[in-house]
Every structure is written in structure tokens, then in C-alpha cells.
Amino acid sequence: MVKKSMNKDLLLIFTRNPELGKVKTRLAATVGDKTALDIYNFLLEHTRQISMNLDVTRHLYYSEEIHTQDAWQNSLYEKRLQLGDDLGDRMKHAFENGLEEGFKKVVIIGSDIYDLQATDIEDAFAALDHNDVVIGPAADGGYYLLGMRILFPELFENKEWGSATVLRDTLSQLENKRTKLLAVKNDVDTYEDIKDVHAFNHFLTHIKEANHL
């Protein structure tokens, strides 16, 4: 069990259970299911590394089932299951739980942003000292981070999740709220997102050789 902490900053981490053929399907269309899974596990490890030493409470939300014997230390991460019909429902549920449990600032991240660093997460929590909402815009029109001090449920409703309109639609609902935007970062969904990033080269050798790149 995770020891109860007096820390009032809560980091929510959403992950997909790493299963062959069920993660990074758009990427897998180019690199294959096995390589897509290897890349996702690499991204999970990156997320674990940047989050494990932060001075926050951490709730790790799995998509399908909770794994107690994986790399995410049970002493550092309180493990929970995502609940809801779509991504918006699942995120809203996690935020509701965190705020109802007494946390003053809640930030959520995914697990597929190689560009994300611990300092970005720290900056997000700091931004909530003077803002109602903090958002990390993704280059594809979504967002890689969202933080709030009070729940704005409308942000999780009537969105076409995974589309290029999510960020725009979210910002349109925040016109009267103090909102801080972080730097734009690239999440990993397709081959184009990683083909020129050195850290992924060893995963892509077979692809580039096949294409004579």
C-alpha cells in the first residue's frame, strides 16, 4: 500500500496496458505490432523515470487491469483503474476522485510524450498557484497535460477525442478562466512522429533499411 501523504499536489498518469496489437495502432501500421509495443514500453519507462522523483502524490491509472508486479513501484504509485465510456469520462472520474480526496492541485499526463520532462510537470503545478487551468498543447491538436484546482466538467464532455480539434474546443470553454499554456510538444502516434528522433532510431532500423532511407 502507498503511504498516505500530506502532499496536496496530485499527478495522474494515464497508461494503456502494454499488450501486443493493442497499443500505438497507428504507429503499428508502419512499424508492426511488436515494434509498436517495444516503443510504447520505452515511452512508459520514460514516463516512469520523469515522474518517480517528483515531490507529488502519484496515481497511476491503467486502461484494462491493474498490474502490481510491473516496473511502477507500488511504494511510489497508487494504482487504480480507469473508469468511464470514453477518455473524457475516464479523465473526469480521475480528477473528481483526486479533488474529492482533498488534493489542491491535480495534473494529468499521458504516457506517450518523449519530449516531456520532470521540469515541465513541476512548471504545471507551479502555474496553478496563479491560474485556474494549465494545459500542455500537443502538436497534433490535442493536449499532453491538463491541470486544475477545481473541476470544470465541461472540459471532458462533447469532444472528439483523438482528433485535431480537442485543444481548440477545450480552449474555447476556458475563455473566462485564467489559463496557462505550456510549450507545445509532440506526442507519439505515427511513424512520422518519431522517424527523425534519434532516441527511436534503434527501433526503426528495419523500416529505414526496407525503405533505403
Supply the CATH number for residue 51's domain: 3.90.550.10
**What pTM was estimated for this model as a whole?**
0.92
Q: 173 is in which domain, residue-wise?
A: 9-210
Residue 144, C-beta contacts closer than 8 angstroms, at least 6 positions apart: 109, 110, 113, 116, 136, 137, 138, 185, 187
Pick the closest to residue 10 from 142, 125, 151, 179 (CA basis): 125
Q: Is position 4 within any domain? A: no
Classify 188 in phi/psi space as left (phi over 0), alpha (psi -120 to 50) or beta: beta
Q: Is position 126 within any domain? A: yes
Q: Is position 3 within any domain? A: no
Confidence at residue 162, expressed as pLDDT on a 0 to 100 scale: 81
Q: Is position 84 within any domain? A: yes
Confidence at residue 124, expressed as pLDDT on a 0 to 100 scale: 98
Confidence at residue 1, expressed as pLDDT on a 0 to 100 scale: 44
Q: Is position 62 within any domain? A: yes
Q: Is position 172 within any domain? A: yes
Confidence at residue 15, expressed as pLDDT on a 0 to 100 scale: 96
Q: Is position 198 within any domain? A: yes
Q: Tens of pLDDT along the chain (213 residues)? A: 444 545 899 999 999 999 999 999 999 999 999 999 999 999 999 999 999 999 999 999 999 999 999 999 999 999 999 999 999 999 999 999 999 999 999 999 999 999 999 999 999 999 999 999 999 999 989 999 999 999 999 999 989 898 889 999 999 999 999 999 999 999 999 999 999 999 999 999 877 665 555
Number of domains in the chain: 1
Q: Is position 74 within any domain? A: yes
Confidence at residue 210, expressed as pLDDT on a 0 to 100 scale: 57
